[in-house]
Amino acid sequence: MSNKKNKNLNRRSFIKNIGVGFAGTIAAAPLLKSHAKKLPEEIKDSLDGKVEVTVYVNGRKFRRNIFPQTTLAQFIRDELNLTGTKVSCNHGECGSCTVLIGSDAVYSCQMLALDADQKFITTIEGLMKNDELGEVQKAFVDKDGLQCGFCTPGQIISAYALLKKNPAPSEEEIREAMSGNLCRCGAYPKIIESVDAAAKLLKK
Amino acid sequence: MSDKIVKSKFFFEEDFIETIGEVSSKEYKSLPPNKKLKYVGKPLNRKDAPVKASGKAKFTFDIELPHMVYARTLRSPHPNAIIKDIDTLHARQVPGVFAILHTFNMSAFNGGKIEWYGNSFLFDPHVRYVGDEIACVAAKDEETAERALKLIDVKYEILDYEIDAKKSMNSKLKIHPDGNVRRGKPFEYERGSVKDGFDEADEIIEDEFSTQVAVHNPTEPHCSVADWNKDKLTIYDSTQAVFRVRNMIADALDTPKDSVRIIKEYMGGGFGGKLEAGKYSVMAALLAKKLKRPVKILNDRREQNIALGNRPDSVQKLKIGVKTDGTITALNHYAYAAIGAYPSGGGCSWPLRTLYKCDNVRTEEYSVYTNAGRARAFRAPGNVQGTFGLESLLDEAAEKIGMDPLEFRVKNFVDFDQVGGKPYTSKMLIEAYKIGAKKIGWENRNKIPGGGKGYVKRGVGMASQIWWGGGGPPAHVRLELDSNGKIVAFAGSQDLGTGTYTFVAQVIGEILEIAPDNIDVVLGDTDRVPYGPSSGGSTTAPSISPAARDAAERMKEKLISNAAALWNVESENVGFENGTVFMKNDKSKKLSAKDIVAQLDDKKISALGSREANPDGYSVQTFGAQFAEVEVDTLTGNVRVLKVVAVHDVGRILNGKTLENQFHGGIIMGIGFALTEEQIRDEYTGKILNDNFHDYKVPTIKETPEIEVFILGEGDMKANNMGVKGIGEPAMIPTPAAIANAVYNAIGKRIKSLPITPDKIITALYDEA
């Protein structure tokens, strides 16, 4: 199956599943039956309505069958069990779920996992260097750029994305780049210090 | 060892609480100032920072257990209604739905009343606000549960409702059978005679101030995972109070307290909103028991906003009498607050009763039921609101008599607790004024309010703060030393992101002369840690750090006496240095802690430390002053906070780094309360219009000003054996008031209702003309 064809299927079955969700019926998609035919009977049920997605997360390739309405955040947490990525608002308002796609920081709760098909993703776990903290993580520890720690993975990913694009940001640039990540504990002054310190660590 | 049981009374969040518990009767010399200490006070890295920065920290939100079931709650769309019928026929047919709980099938679960929700039922047939619990569906995943919720057919008898406190006070509509004013009457306090006080005054100033409803909105949602193993219930809960939640759950389920275990390793913020068991925790427990599978309930952001607590609003009518020399002769405070549909506290008069010297004080406070989400303790409940009213009025009075606001406050300084009649262990407010004034440039403020040039006007203002924050018993820490020399501290507490893991290790490390990195700290597990208090009211550090010291001192004694026994000498002949025990007359004879344990049959030494009783005859309080510089754009009405200087008397610093961070956080939360945060409830539907982070504006990194924090003194040595007081609420209390006073200094118009939004500035500047 070509990539293009696969995409079309994904979109159609996505719409179908949303429909099922809203109507709350179990008039399961006739569309999907034709695909189900090819599957062994015993796994048919669990795959009903699922589509395949392939992503490269933290340097590893993952292929999974998922419901098309699965968000990237759900996919990362539930399918890949990478629970460092948090979901705080699920509406693209707080930044707790920030991950890198390529070199861009994105809100993973606002993206379908399907739209990340074939993409390269980095989560907080991917910033680790084996068992050691990466530079940005180290800077957040040393400068105490956190309190409760729940928004921290998102903050660190946003900081990392900034520093990849701008290795020596001014304080204003740090504030701008980090303004999409809420910290209710209000560790902001120390987050600014942390990003500044991370820039210096990365330069070394 | 003559430890004793005492009954102690101290202020916790909204009320005085009385507790009975064992206290340590050991008396220790005060530790020397921090500069002479090795670990205490040092800005060491947060112990839990690496695990949090790595993404490996497991929050309750992240707990997944085998065969787990997910539950969602159906909440009332009506502000006041009686449920006539619930039809779950279609909801039950959704594949993957396992159980549905609601008011008409609860008999199967011994459904009782929930005491802390005004003895309403878990699913009450009378729903009293938009968001009240109606049913709960457990299913194979959240989406399935959510789908089933939409298929539950509920028939309501829709009733009139009231969301405004003032109207509710006089309304015929009864939200609870005993009327709409909680306890049926106001809380009243009087000392002296306000009548005489006002007669004596040269000037009387009266004004009305109001504050808004604000929401905690911690980043980690309230959530519980319940798991039964035979008759033992384990709940992973995002909570500030593992023991309190345990006791509440056990009471609700009518099961022994020791059959319930509450675990919370890391949590994503609480701010007072997670000090109690949720109805959702009880639902999870009931569903898990029925299904014999673990059940997880996550409340989403909307539920956080509509149903899981808020800071109640306030309307405050204040009256002050002053003499021309600045003496305050009388203070009167009349206030009411909408506490929502279930019992909570809305009082805000405390600061006015105690902060300044005044012999004639009267306060009258009404906590009023409304058809709204129930209020809960929120970072300095009442005091943030009350301080805004009081400190605004004080500035008005100072201006009226032509006195500098700071001089006016100094003039009315008082060194004892006027309510309790006891002297303070410490009150360094005058020093706070001096340092704060210097750091903010007080002398450069507008001599004439609003007198600055240009359309962007700057102003400087200040406010003071009083808050308990002394903590108290019972609070315990158990230390265990094993034959590998590993030392583990089990502390009766929990870490909310406030640095509890870290300071426990620092205190023990200081006494036992061991690097804090080599001490493991276990918190937040009712089956593993000894009893300790809830983490609220700025009580954790002053309750737990003295208990940690007591445990470490006892461990040191045990090491010394064990070594003495091994050497067949008296304990006096044995000394302790750098974590090792030595013979005083032969320093070459040494034993490390590890060596000692290795020679014991038990291969382990344990020591239980306890918080001592609070000092007799004293009142332990925190004090502070904050100074704010703001910039007001008189064309757009936008207010920017440029700088905040915070100077506080909060006892000894345990960790300079985490302390500064928590102060920043309190101040930033105060900026949100002053300028942007406001829950808006539609009077025509009773619904919340901004139940998300987009429309409910918490401060971002862009609103963060320059902040300077100064801590006065070396410690409040009379308060406890560590000289420690709390900082969580003191950090936030004066911020909104200082900003409001600075805005007045900038534009010469006083904004008397929070938050100070652009429309209020513009109205104040241009509408009166």
Residue B28 reports pLDDT greater than 70: yes
Give a three-class secondary structure readout of B101-166. EECCCHHHHCCCEEHHHCCEECCCCEECCCCCEEEEEEECCHHHHHHHHHCCEEEEEECCCCCCHH
Alpha-carbon distances of B90 from A29, B87, B94, B109, rounded to whole Å = 19, 8, 7, 22
Distance CA B277, CA B534 (A): 12
Residue B591 to chain A, least CA–CA distance (Å): 35
Which of B559, B588, B610 is the last residue before a domain boundary?
B610
Residue B214 reports pLDDT greater than 60: yes
Same structural domain, B153 and B168: no
> Rounded to 5 degrees, what angle do the CA atoms B465, B468, B474 make?
160
Q: Domain containing B429 — which CATH number?
A: 3.30.365.10
Residue B760 reports pLDDT greater than 80: yes
Distance CA B724, CA B475 (A): 14
Give the one of A86, A91, A190 whose C-beta lies nearest to B692's C-beta.
A91
pLDDT of residue B114: 87
Is B268's CB within 8 Å of A148's CB? yes
Question: How does pLDDT run across B517-544, given as a tens digit for each residue?
Answer: 999 999 999 999 999 999 999 999 999 9
Same structural domain, B155 and B204: no
Is A179's CB within 8 Å of B700's CB? yes
Contact B629, B642 (CB under 8 A): yes
* pLDDT mean across residues, chain B: 95
Is A141's CB within 8 Å of B50's CB? yes
Residue A2 to chain B, least CA–CA distance (Å): 31
Give the one of B45, B300, B700 whose C-beta lies nearest to A182's C-beta.
B700
Please name which of B751, B730, B725 lies closest in space to residue B614, comparing C-alpha atoms: B725
What backbone phi and psi angles, to 5 degrees, belong to B608? -105, 125
Task: Map residue B477 onto helix, strand or coil.
Answer: strand
Same structural domain, B568 and B605: yes
Same structural domain, B131 and B103: yes
Same structural domain, B68 and B141: yes
Please name which of B663, B211, B645, B700 lies closest in space to residue B460, comparing C-alpha atoms: B645
Q: Does B701 touch chain A (CB under 8 A)?
A: yes
| Residues in chain B closer than 8 A to A77 (CB atoms) | 62
Please name which of B746, B749, B688, B173 lies closest in space to residue B445, comparing C-alpha atoms: B746
Total length of chain B: 769
Is A186's CB within 8 Å of B664's CB? yes
In B, minimum Cα distance to A180 occurs at B700
| Residues in chain A closer than 8 A to B670 (CB atoms) | none
Q: Mean pLDDT, to the nearest integer, of B19-30? A: 92
Q: Does B292 touch chain A (CB under 8 A)?
A: no
In B, minimum Cα distance to A85 occurs at B55
| Residues in chain A closer than 8 A to B266 (CB atoms) | 148-149
C-alpha dihedral sign at B319, B321, B325, B326 = negative
Least confident of A66-75, B683-692, B759-768: B759-768
Q: To the nearest whole percent, how much of chain B has pLDDT over 90?
A: 92
Is A86's CB within 8 Å of B61's CB? yes
> Count of CB atoms within 10 A of residue B695's CB?
14
Residue B352 reports pLDDT greater than 70: yes
Q: Does B90 touch chain A (CB under 8 A)?
A: yes
Residue B484 to chain A, least CA–CA distance (Å): 24
Distance CA B499, CA B38 (A): 18
Q: Is the peptide bond before B474 cis (omega within 30 degrees of 0)?
A: yes
Contact A53, A113 (CB under 8 A): yes
Res. B510 pLDDT band, cuts 50 70 90: very high
Residue A146 to chain B, least CA–CA distance (Å): 8
Contact A111, A71 (CB under 8 A): yes
In B, minimum Cα distance to A22 occurs at B147
pLDDT of residue B463: 98
Which spans in A59-144 are helix H? 72-74, 135-142
Distance CA B448, CA B428 (A): 29
Distance CA B468, CA B244 (A): 20
Q: Mean pLDDT, to the nearest integer, of B654-681? A: 98
Structure tokens at A150: 């729940």
Q: How many CB pairs under 8 A join A and B?
A: 179
In A, minimum Cα distance to B657 occurs at A144
Residue A5 to chain B, least CA–CA distance (Å): 28
Give the one of A83, A123, A184 whose C-beta lies nearest to B219's C-beta.
A184
| Residues in chain B closer than 8 A to A87 (CB atoms) | 61
| Residues in chain A closer than 8 A to B707 (CB atoms) | 189
Question: Sheet of B126-127: strands edge to edge?
Answer: B126-127, B81-87, B153-158
Give the one of B147, B151, B657 whose C-beta lies nearest to A144's C-beta.
B657
* Structure ipTM: 0.97
Same structural domain, B602 and B635: no
Residue B2 reports pLDDT greater than 50: no
Interface test with B, best of A20, A188, A194 (most B CBs within 10 A): A188
CA B665 and chain centroid, separation: 13
Task: Map residue B205 onto helix, strand or coil.
Answer: strand
Q: Describe chain A by its helix, strand, coil percentages, rounded to 5.
A: 50, 15, 35
Q: Which amino acid is at B334?
A: Y
Interface of B with A in 637-676 (CB under 8 A): 657-658, 660-662, 664-669
| Residues in chain A closer than 8 A to B59 (CB atoms) | 86, 149-150
Question: How does pLDDT run across B118-152, given as a tens digit for each residue?
Answer: 888 899 999 999 999 999 999 999 999 999 999 99
Total length of chain A: 204
Which of B589, B610, B631 is the last residue before a domain boundary?
B610
Q: Mean pLDDT, to the nearest integer, of B293-312? A: 98
Is B269's CB within 8 Å of A147's CB? yes
Q: Considering only residues B161 and B579, tell me which one the structure prediction assigns the higher pLDDT.
A: B161
Same structural domain, B50 and B78: no
Distance CA A35, CA A45 (A): 12
Res. B411 pLDDT band, cuts 50 70 90: very high
pLDDT of residue B8: 75
Give the one of B54, B221, B267 whose C-beta lies nearest to A148's C-beta.
B267
pLDDT of residue B115: 84
Distance CA B489, CA B608 (A): 10
Same structural domain, B191 and B333: yes
The position carrying tokens 């909105």 is B217
Residue B699 to chain A, least CA–CA distance (Å): 8
In A, minimum Cα distance to B658 occurs at A144
Is A149's CB within 8 Å of B52's CB? yes
Distance CA B212, CA B653 (A): 33
Which of B273, B307, B341 is the last residue before a domain boundary?
B307
| Residues in chain A closer than 8 A to B658 (CB atoms) | 144, 147
Is A93's CB within 8 Å of B692's CB? yes
For residue A77, the 8-state DSSP code is I
Residue B35 reports pLDDT greater than 90: yes
Task: Map residue A120 onto helix, strand or coil.
Answer: strand
Is B53's CB within 8 Å of A156's CB? yes
Contacts of B447 (CB under 8 A, 6+ apart): none
| Residues in chain A closer than 8 A to B61 (CB atoms) | 86-87, 150
Q: Domain containing B92 — which CATH number?
A: 3.90.1170.50
Distance CA B344, CA B351 (A): 19
Residue B368 reports pLDDT greater than 80: yes
Interface of B with A in 236-275 (CB under 8 A): 266-269, 271
Number of domains in chain B: 4
Is B704's CB within 8 Å of A189's CB? yes
Please name which of B216, B219, B215 lies closest in space to residue B61, comparing C-alpha atoms: B219
pLDDT of residue B355: 98
Q: Mean pLDDT, to the nearest integer, of B499-511? A: 98
N- to C-terminal Cα separation, chain B = 74
Task: Map residue B7 onto helix, strand or coil.
Answer: strand
Structure tokens at B395: 């500035």
Interface of B with A in 142-171 (CB under 8 A): 143, 147-148, 150-151
Distance CA A65, CA B518 (A): 45
Same structural domain, B283 and B136: yes
Residue B195 reports pLDDT greater than 90: yes
Is B701's CB within 8 Å of A90's CB? no
Q: Does B62 touch chain A (CB under 8 A)?
A: yes
Question: Sheet of B706-711: strands edge to edge?
Answer: B456-467, B622-633, B639-649, B706-711
Specify the DSSP element, H or E, that contains B298: strand B295-298
Alpha-carbon distances of B98 from B92, B103, B265, B502, rounded to whole Å = 8, 17, 29, 43
Give the one of B53, B59, B148 whose C-beta lies nearest to A140's C-beta.
B53
Residue B660 to chain A, least CA–CA distance (Å): 9
Contact B349, B338 (CB under 8 A): no
What backbone phi and psi angles, to 5 degrees, belong to A65? -95, 125
What backbone phi and psi angles, to 5 degrees, belong to B188? -120, 145
Q: Mean pLDDT, to the nearest integer, of B242-254? A: 95
Same structural domain, B166 and B147: no
pLDDT of residue B648: 98
Same structural domain, B51 and B72: no
pLDDT of residue A30: 40
Res. B602 pLDDT band, cuts 50 70 90: confident
Task: Map residue A125 onto helix, strand or coil.
Answer: helix
Contacts of B254 (CB under 8 A, 6+ apart): B110, B112
Which residue range is the domain that position B184 belongs to?
162-216+309-414
Residue B622 reports pLDDT greater than 50: yes
Q: To the nearest whole percent, how much of chain B has pLDDT over 70?
A: 98
| Residues in chain A closer than 8 A to B52 (CB atoms) | 146, 149, 152
Same structural domain, B289 and B151: yes
Q: What is the pLDDT along chain A (204 residues), one digit of tens a residue?
A: 344 444 444 444 444 444 343 333 333 334 444 444 444 554 555 567 899 999 999 999 999 999 999 999 999 999 999 999 999 999 999 999 999 999 999 999 999 999 999 999 999 999 999 999 999 999 999 999 999 999 999 999 999 999 999 999 999 999 999 999 999 999 999 999 999 999 999 997
Q: Mean pLDDT, to the nearest integer, of B367-382? A: 97
Structure tokens at A175: 């504030």
Distance CA B460, CA B626 (A): 11
Distance CA B708, CA B626 (A): 10
In B, minimum Cα distance to A172 occurs at B702
Is B661's CB within 8 Å of A144's CB? yes
Is B219's CB within 8 Å of A94's CB? yes
